[in-house]
Amino acid sequence: MSTSVRVAKSTDAVPERVHAQLRNLVEGLASRRRLHHVNLAVASADGGAHWAGAAGPERGTGPAVDPEAPFFIASITKRFIAALVLQAHERGELDLDASVSACLPASVTTGLHVRGGVDRTPQITIRHLASHTSGLPDFFERRRGGTSLYRRLRAGQDTSWSFEDVVEITRTQQRPHFDPQDLAARSQLARYSDTGFQLLIRILEEATSTPFPTLIADRIASPLGLTRTWHPASEPPAGAAPALPLHAGRRPVAVDGVIASSNDLFSTTRDLLAFERALVAGTPFRDPATRHLLTERRNRLRNIPVLRYGLGTMTFSVNRLAAPGREPLTLVGHSGSTGTWLFTCPELGVHVAGTVDQTQAQSLPFRVMVRCLRIWAGGVGPS
Protein backbone atom coordinates (compact mmCIF):
# COMPACT_ATOMS: atom_id res chain seq x y z
CA MET A 1 0.00 0.00 0.00
CA SER A 2 1.47 3.35 -1.03
CA THR A 3 1.76 6.01 1.64
CA SER A 4 0.95 9.69 1.29
CA VAL A 5 2.75 12.27 3.43
CA ARG A 6 1.53 15.78 4.03
CA VAL A 7 3.41 18.45 5.97
CA ALA A 8 1.14 21.23 7.16
CA LYS A 9 3.76 23.48 8.65
CA SER A 10 7.51 23.63 8.94
CA THR A 11 8.79 27.00 10.11
CA ASP A 12 12.07 28.48 8.93
CA ALA A 13 13.53 27.70 12.36
CA VAL A 14 13.31 23.97 11.51
CA PRO A 15 16.41 22.99 9.50
CA GLU A 16 15.86 21.08 6.27
CA ARG A 17 17.64 18.03 7.72
CA VAL A 18 15.23 17.91 10.67
CA HIS A 19 12.26 18.44 8.34
CA ALA A 20 13.39 15.51 6.16
CA GLN A 21 14.00 13.21 9.13
CA LEU A 22 10.60 13.94 10.69
CA ARG A 23 8.93 13.41 7.33
CA ASN A 24 10.72 10.06 7.01
CA LEU A 25 9.65 9.17 10.55
CA VAL A 26 5.91 9.63 9.92
CA GLU A 27 6.13 7.95 6.52
CA GLY A 28 7.94 4.96 8.03
CA LEU A 29 5.41 4.63 10.83
CA ALA A 30 2.43 4.78 8.49
CA SER A 31 3.91 2.09 6.26
CA ARG A 32 4.03 -0.42 9.12
CA ARG A 33 1.78 -3.42 8.64
CA ARG A 34 -0.06 -2.86 11.93
CA LEU A 35 -0.60 0.89 11.53
CA HIS A 36 -2.92 2.85 9.26
CA HIS A 37 -1.89 6.49 9.70
CA VAL A 38 0.05 8.83 11.98
CA ASN A 39 -0.19 12.50 12.90
CA LEU A 40 2.77 14.18 14.54
CA ALA A 41 3.59 17.71 15.65
CA VAL A 42 6.70 19.05 17.38
CA ALA A 43 7.22 22.61 18.60
CA SER A 44 9.73 24.56 20.63
CA ALA A 45 8.49 25.92 23.95
CA ASP A 46 8.74 29.50 22.67
CA GLY A 47 6.76 28.64 19.54
CA GLY A 48 9.55 29.76 17.23
CA ALA A 49 10.08 26.34 15.69
CA HIS A 50 7.14 24.16 14.70
CA TRP A 51 6.70 21.09 12.52
CA ALA A 52 3.50 19.15 11.81
CA GLY A 53 3.01 16.24 9.45
CA ALA A 54 0.82 13.25 8.75
CA ALA A 55 1.07 10.08 6.72
CA GLY A 56 -1.39 7.40 5.70
CA PRO A 57 -2.79 5.50 2.72
CA GLU A 58 -2.64 7.37 -0.55
CA ARG A 59 -6.17 6.24 -1.30
CA GLY A 60 -8.79 5.37 1.26
CA THR A 61 -12.46 5.64 2.15
CA GLY A 62 -11.96 7.63 5.35
CA PRO A 63 -10.87 11.24 5.96
CA ALA A 64 -7.82 12.28 3.98
CA VAL A 65 -4.38 12.40 5.57
CA ASP A 66 -4.11 15.84 7.14
CA PRO A 67 -1.86 17.10 9.96
CA GLU A 68 -4.69 19.38 11.11
CA ALA A 69 -7.34 16.64 11.26
CA PRO A 70 -9.11 16.23 14.62
CA PHE A 71 -8.87 12.91 16.44
CA PHE A 72 -10.06 11.18 19.61
CA ILE A 73 -7.41 12.08 22.22
CA ALA A 74 -8.35 9.37 24.77
CA SER A 75 -6.66 9.80 28.15
CA ILE A 76 -4.82 12.98 27.22
CA THR A 77 -8.16 14.32 28.49
CA LYS A 78 -6.94 13.65 32.02
CA ARG A 79 -4.66 16.69 31.66
CA PHE A 80 -7.74 18.78 30.89
CA ILE A 81 -9.61 17.29 33.86
CA ALA A 82 -6.69 18.01 36.18
CA ALA A 83 -6.57 21.61 34.95
CA LEU A 84 -10.30 22.00 35.66
CA VAL A 85 -9.85 20.52 39.14
CA LEU A 86 -7.07 22.99 39.96
CA GLN A 87 -9.10 25.88 38.56
CA ALA A 88 -12.05 24.88 40.77
CA HIS A 89 -9.68 24.61 43.73
CA GLU A 90 -8.44 28.16 43.09
CA ARG A 91 -12.01 29.44 42.86
CA GLY A 92 -12.99 27.82 46.16
CA GLU A 93 -15.46 25.49 44.43
CA LEU A 94 -13.74 22.40 45.77
CA ASP A 95 -10.95 21.41 48.16
CA LEU A 96 -8.28 19.00 46.95
CA ASP A 97 -8.25 17.38 50.39
CA ALA A 98 -12.02 16.99 50.65
CA SER A 99 -13.41 13.47 50.97
CA VAL A 100 -15.31 12.16 47.97
CA SER A 101 -18.06 11.27 50.44
CA ALA A 102 -18.52 14.99 51.08
CA CYS A 103 -18.62 15.77 47.36
CA LEU A 104 -20.97 13.10 46.01
CA PRO A 105 -24.22 11.51 47.23
CA ALA A 106 -24.07 8.43 49.45
CA SER A 107 -25.78 6.49 46.66
CA VAL A 108 -22.55 6.92 44.68
CA THR A 109 -19.86 6.61 47.35
CA THR A 110 -21.16 3.98 49.80
CA GLY A 111 -19.28 0.71 49.39
CA LEU A 112 -17.01 1.87 46.54
CA HIS A 113 -13.82 0.97 48.40
CA VAL A 114 -14.38 -1.93 50.82
CA ARG A 115 -11.25 -3.68 52.05
CA GLY A 116 -10.93 -6.00 55.02
CA GLY A 117 -14.65 -5.59 55.63
CA VAL A 118 -14.25 -1.81 56.12
CA ASP A 119 -15.66 0.81 53.78
CA ARG A 120 -12.68 3.11 53.28
CA THR A 121 -14.36 5.36 50.71
CA PRO A 122 -14.59 8.32 53.15
CA GLN A 123 -10.76 8.29 53.34
CA ILE A 124 -10.49 8.98 49.59
CA THR A 125 -9.92 12.63 48.67
CA ILE A 126 -9.99 14.51 45.39
CA ARG A 127 -6.20 14.50 45.49
CA HIS A 128 -6.22 10.69 45.76
CA LEU A 129 -8.39 10.41 42.65
CA ALA A 130 -6.25 12.80 40.59
CA SER A 131 -3.02 11.02 41.56
CA HIS A 132 -4.24 7.40 41.25
CA THR A 133 -3.44 6.76 44.93
CA SER A 134 -6.96 5.83 46.09
CA GLY A 135 -6.57 2.11 45.49
CA LEU A 136 -9.79 2.02 43.47
CA PRO A 137 -9.83 -0.48 40.59
CA ASP A 138 -10.09 0.59 36.95
CA PHE A 139 -13.52 -0.19 35.50
CA PHE A 140 -11.80 -0.74 32.11
CA GLU A 141 -9.93 -3.75 33.54
CA ARG A 142 -10.97 -7.30 34.41
CA ARG A 143 -14.18 -7.77 36.34
CA ARG A 144 -16.12 -10.72 37.70
CA GLY A 145 -18.37 -12.28 35.10
CA GLY A 146 -17.38 -10.08 32.18
CA THR A 147 -14.74 -9.24 29.59
CA SER A 148 -12.58 -6.21 30.29
CA LEU A 149 -13.36 -3.08 28.29
CA TYR A 150 -9.70 -2.95 27.23
CA ARG A 151 -10.06 -6.35 25.59
CA ARG A 152 -13.26 -5.35 23.83
CA LEU A 153 -11.69 -2.13 22.56
CA ARG A 154 -8.61 -3.98 21.28
CA ALA A 155 -10.93 -6.24 19.29
CA GLY A 156 -12.77 -3.24 17.88
CA GLN A 157 -16.03 -4.19 19.63
CA ASP A 158 -18.25 -1.27 20.49
CA THR A 159 -20.04 -0.88 23.82
CA SER A 160 -21.34 1.90 26.02
CA TRP A 161 -21.82 2.64 29.70
CA SER A 162 -23.13 5.27 32.07
CA PHE A 163 -21.64 6.81 35.21
CA GLU A 164 -24.00 4.59 37.19
CA ASP A 165 -22.55 1.55 35.39
CA VAL A 166 -19.04 2.61 36.42
CA VAL A 167 -20.13 2.87 40.07
CA GLU A 168 -21.93 -0.49 39.98
CA ILE A 169 -19.01 -2.30 38.32
CA THR A 170 -16.57 -0.85 40.85
CA ARG A 171 -18.79 -1.72 43.80
CA THR A 172 -19.95 -5.23 42.86
CA GLN A 173 -17.59 -6.69 40.22
CA GLN A 174 -14.14 -5.47 41.24
CA ARG A 175 -11.99 -5.11 44.34
CA PRO A 176 -9.75 -2.26 45.51
CA HIS A 177 -6.00 -2.85 45.15
CA PHE A 178 -4.80 -1.11 48.33
CA ASP A 179 -5.94 1.32 51.01
CA PRO A 180 -6.18 5.04 50.22
CA GLN A 181 -2.62 6.24 50.69
CA ASP A 182 -1.14 8.55 53.30
CA LEU A 183 -0.42 11.62 51.17
CA ALA A 184 1.78 13.11 53.87
CA ALA A 185 4.27 10.24 53.46
CA ARG A 186 7.33 10.51 51.23
CA SER A 187 5.83 8.24 48.58
CA GLN A 188 2.65 6.36 47.94
CA LEU A 189 1.39 3.30 46.14
CA ALA A 190 -0.23 4.34 42.87
CA ARG A 191 -2.22 2.40 40.29
CA TYR A 192 -3.76 3.85 37.14
CA SER A 193 -7.55 3.96 37.39
CA ASP A 194 -10.00 5.47 34.90
CA THR A 195 -12.65 5.09 37.60
CA GLY A 196 -11.06 7.84 39.67
CA PHE A 197 -11.28 10.33 36.81
CA GLN A 198 -14.91 9.49 36.08
CA LEU A 199 -15.57 10.34 39.72
CA LEU A 200 -13.59 13.59 39.32
CA ILE A 201 -15.76 14.60 36.37
CA ARG A 202 -18.92 14.07 38.42
CA ILE A 203 -17.39 15.98 41.37
CA LEU A 204 -16.57 18.90 39.05
CA GLU A 205 -20.13 18.92 37.74
CA GLU A 206 -21.57 18.87 41.27
CA ALA A 207 -19.20 21.55 42.57
CA THR A 208 -19.75 23.95 39.67
CA SER A 209 -23.37 23.07 38.75
CA THR A 210 -22.09 22.85 35.18
CA PRO A 211 -21.97 19.90 32.74
CA PHE A 212 -18.49 18.65 31.91
CA PRO A 213 -18.70 19.50 28.16
CA THR A 214 -19.56 23.09 29.09
CA LEU A 215 -16.68 23.28 31.57
CA ILE A 216 -14.29 22.18 28.83
CA ALA A 217 -15.65 24.77 26.41
CA ASP A 218 -15.99 27.70 28.82
CA ARG A 219 -12.97 27.27 31.08
CA ILE A 220 -10.37 25.67 28.79
CA ALA A 221 -11.12 25.74 25.07
CA SER A 222 -12.53 29.25 24.70
CA PRO A 223 -10.05 31.12 26.96
CA LEU A 224 -7.08 29.38 25.33
CA GLY A 225 -8.33 29.73 21.76
CA LEU A 226 -8.68 25.99 21.19
CA THR A 227 -11.03 26.22 18.23
CA ARG A 228 -10.87 22.53 17.29
CA THR A 229 -11.33 20.89 20.70
CA TRP A 230 -14.70 19.53 21.81
CA HIS A 231 -16.46 16.90 23.91
CA PRO A 232 -18.31 14.07 22.07
CA ALA A 233 -21.61 15.28 23.57
CA SER A 234 -21.09 18.71 21.99
CA GLU A 235 -21.47 19.72 18.37
CA PRO A 236 -18.14 19.85 16.50
CA PRO A 237 -16.97 23.42 15.87
CA ALA A 238 -18.20 25.00 12.65
CA GLY A 239 -15.87 24.10 9.80
CA ALA A 240 -14.13 21.27 11.68
CA ALA A 241 -13.01 18.41 9.46
CA PRO A 242 -14.31 14.89 10.21
CA ALA A 243 -12.42 13.21 13.05
CA LEU A 244 -9.95 10.51 12.09
CA PRO A 245 -11.38 7.02 12.73
CA LEU A 246 -9.84 4.47 15.05
CA HIS A 247 -8.30 1.36 13.55
CA ALA A 248 -7.39 -2.15 14.63
CA GLY A 249 -4.27 -2.50 12.56
CA ARG A 250 -5.41 -1.34 9.13
CA ARG A 251 -9.04 -2.21 9.71
CA PRO A 252 -11.29 0.76 10.59
CA VAL A 253 -13.51 0.19 13.62
CA ALA A 254 -16.67 2.00 14.69
CA VAL A 255 -16.68 2.41 18.47
CA ASP A 256 -18.98 5.40 18.80
CA GLY A 257 -20.46 4.05 22.02
CA VAL A 258 -17.04 3.80 23.66
CA ILE A 259 -16.14 7.32 22.55
CA ALA A 260 -19.44 8.80 23.74
CA SER A 261 -19.25 7.04 27.12
CA SER A 262 -15.60 7.77 27.83
CA ASN A 263 -15.93 11.54 28.38
CA ASP A 264 -12.68 11.92 26.43
CA LEU A 265 -12.26 14.74 23.92
CA PHE A 266 -11.59 15.35 20.25
CA SER A 267 -8.80 17.75 19.33
CA THR A 268 -5.99 18.46 16.87
CA THR A 269 -2.22 18.51 17.31
CA ARG A 270 -2.30 22.30 16.90
CA ASP A 271 -4.82 22.74 19.73
CA LEU A 272 -3.05 20.22 21.94
CA LEU A 273 0.29 22.00 21.58
CA ALA A 274 -1.41 25.31 22.40
CA PHE A 275 -2.97 23.74 25.50
CA GLU A 276 0.33 22.20 26.60
CA ARG A 277 2.21 25.47 26.11
CA ALA A 278 -0.40 27.27 28.21
CA LEU A 279 -0.41 24.60 30.92
CA VAL A 280 3.37 24.65 31.26
CA ALA A 281 3.22 28.43 31.66
CA GLY A 282 0.34 28.25 34.15
CA THR A 283 -1.93 30.34 31.91
CA PRO A 284 -5.19 28.51 32.77
CA PHE A 285 -4.80 29.44 36.45
CA ARG A 286 -5.26 32.65 38.43
CA ASP A 287 -1.87 31.99 40.02
CA PRO A 288 0.56 30.52 37.46
CA ALA A 289 2.37 28.74 40.32
CA THR A 290 -0.68 26.48 40.66
CA ARG A 291 0.72 24.53 37.71
CA HIS A 292 3.35 23.03 40.03
CA LEU A 293 0.63 21.01 41.78
CA LEU A 294 0.42 18.88 38.62
CA THR A 295 3.83 17.40 39.45
CA GLU A 296 3.79 17.75 43.24
CA ARG A 297 4.33 13.99 43.49
CA ARG A 298 5.77 11.42 41.10
CA ASN A 299 4.75 7.96 42.24
CA ARG A 300 5.54 4.94 40.11
CA LEU A 301 2.38 3.35 38.71
CA ARG A 302 2.17 -0.29 39.78
CA ASN A 303 0.36 -1.34 36.59
CA ILE A 304 2.55 0.81 34.29
CA PRO A 305 5.91 0.82 36.11
CA VAL A 306 7.77 2.81 33.42
CA LEU A 307 5.63 5.81 34.34
CA ARG A 308 5.39 8.04 37.39
CA TYR A 309 2.25 10.01 38.12
CA GLY A 310 1.37 13.37 39.65
CA LEU A 311 -2.06 15.04 39.35
CA GLY A 312 -3.36 14.04 35.94
CA THR A 313 0.24 14.06 34.74
CA MET A 314 2.63 11.31 33.62
CA THR A 315 6.41 11.52 33.84
CA PHE A 316 8.53 9.25 31.65
CA SER A 317 12.31 9.05 32.03
CA VAL A 318 14.14 8.55 28.75
CA ASN A 319 16.88 5.94 29.01
CA ARG A 320 20.34 7.55 28.77
CA LEU A 321 21.29 5.18 25.96
CA ALA A 322 18.25 6.29 23.94
CA ALA A 323 18.42 9.98 24.81
CA PRO A 324 20.18 12.43 22.49
CA GLY A 325 23.62 13.28 23.81
CA ARG A 326 23.31 10.45 26.36
CA GLU A 327 21.98 13.01 28.85
CA PRO A 328 18.98 12.15 31.04
CA LEU A 329 15.73 13.51 29.67
CA THR A 330 12.15 13.47 30.95
CA LEU A 331 8.81 13.66 29.20
CA VAL A 332 5.97 15.22 31.21
CA GLY A 333 2.38 15.09 29.99
CA HIS A 334 -0.08 12.31 29.15
CA SER A 335 -0.73 9.56 26.65
CA GLY A 336 -3.85 7.64 25.67
CA SER A 337 -4.52 3.95 25.10
CA THR A 338 -5.40 4.59 21.44
CA GLY A 339 -1.83 5.71 20.71
CA THR A 340 -2.16 9.41 21.47
CA TRP A 341 0.42 11.62 23.15
CA LEU A 342 1.00 15.13 24.46
CA PHE A 343 4.24 15.74 26.34
CA THR A 344 6.86 18.34 27.13
CA CYS A 345 10.58 17.67 27.41
CA PRO A 346 11.74 20.38 29.87
CA GLU A 347 15.43 19.78 29.22
CA LEU A 348 15.06 20.46 25.48
CA GLY A 349 12.22 22.96 25.73
CA VAL A 350 10.07 21.06 23.24
CA HIS A 351 6.43 19.92 23.08
CA VAL A 352 5.35 16.79 21.19
CA ALA A 353 1.81 15.74 20.21
CA GLY A 354 0.36 13.08 17.96
CA THR A 355 -1.72 9.99 17.35
CA VAL A 356 -1.75 6.67 15.53
CA ASP A 357 -5.48 6.11 16.27
CA GLN A 358 -5.20 2.43 17.13
CA THR A 359 -7.37 0.41 19.50
CA GLN A 360 -4.18 -0.99 21.02
CA ALA A 361 -1.07 1.19 21.06
CA GLN A 362 -0.25 2.10 24.65
CA SER A 363 3.54 1.88 24.38
CA LEU A 364 4.15 3.15 20.83
CA PRO A 365 3.87 6.88 21.71
CA PHE A 366 6.94 6.71 23.94
CA ARG A 367 9.09 5.10 21.26
CA VAL A 368 7.92 7.70 18.73
CA MET A 369 8.63 10.60 21.10
CA VAL A 370 12.14 9.39 21.87
CA ARG A 371 12.90 9.30 18.15
CA CYS A 372 11.45 12.81 17.79
CA LEU A 373 13.66 14.12 20.57
CA ARG A 374 16.77 12.66 18.98
CA ILE A 375 15.91 14.25 15.62
CA TRP A 376 14.98 17.60 17.15
CA ALA A 377 18.00 17.83 19.45
CA GLY A 378 20.30 17.02 16.55
CA GLY A 379 19.12 19.95 14.46
CA VAL A 380 17.08 22.47 16.43
CA GLY A 381 18.44 22.22 19.97
CA PRO A 382 17.01 23.50 23.27
CA SER A 383 14.75 26.56 23.24
pLDDT in tens, the chain (383 residues): 566 777 765 677 888 999 999 999 999 999 888 899 999 999 999 888 999 999 998 766 667 778 999 999 999 999 999 999 999 999 999 999 999 999 999 999 999 999 999 999 999 999 999 999 999 999 988 777 777 777 777 778 888 999 999 999 999 999 999 999 999 999 999 999 999 999 999 999 999 999 999 999 999 999 999 999 999 999 999 989 999 999 999 899 999 999 999 999 999 999 999 999 999 999 999 999 999 999 999 999 999 999 999 999 999 999 876 667 667 899 999 999 999 999 999 999 999 999 999 988 888 999 999 999 999 987 776 65
CATH label, 72-271+280-317, candidates 3.40.50.1370, 3.40.50.300, 3.30.420.10, 3.40.710.10:
3.40.710.10
Closest CA to 89 of 197, 182, 207, 201: 207
State residue 60's pLDDT score.
61
Model pLDDT, residue 133: 98
What is the Cα–Cα distance from 58 to 259, expressed in whole angstroms?
27
Residue of 37, 74, 5, 53 whose CA lies nearest to 251: 37
The answer to whether residues 212 and 263 touch, using CB atoms and an 8 Å cutoff, is: yes
Residue 290's alpha-carbon distances to 82, 90, 342, in angstroms, are 11, 8, 20
Task: Return the pLDDT at 362.
Answer: 84
pLDDT on residue 321: 63
pTM to 2 decimals?
0.95
Question: What is the Cα–Cα distance from 99 to 190, expressed in whole angstroms?
Answer: 18
Domain segments of the chain: what residues?
Answer: 72-271+280-317
The four Cα atoms 104, 188, 150, 167 give a dihedral, to 10 degrees, of: -20
Per-residue pLDDT at 119: 98
Q: What is the pLDDT of residue 9?
A: 59
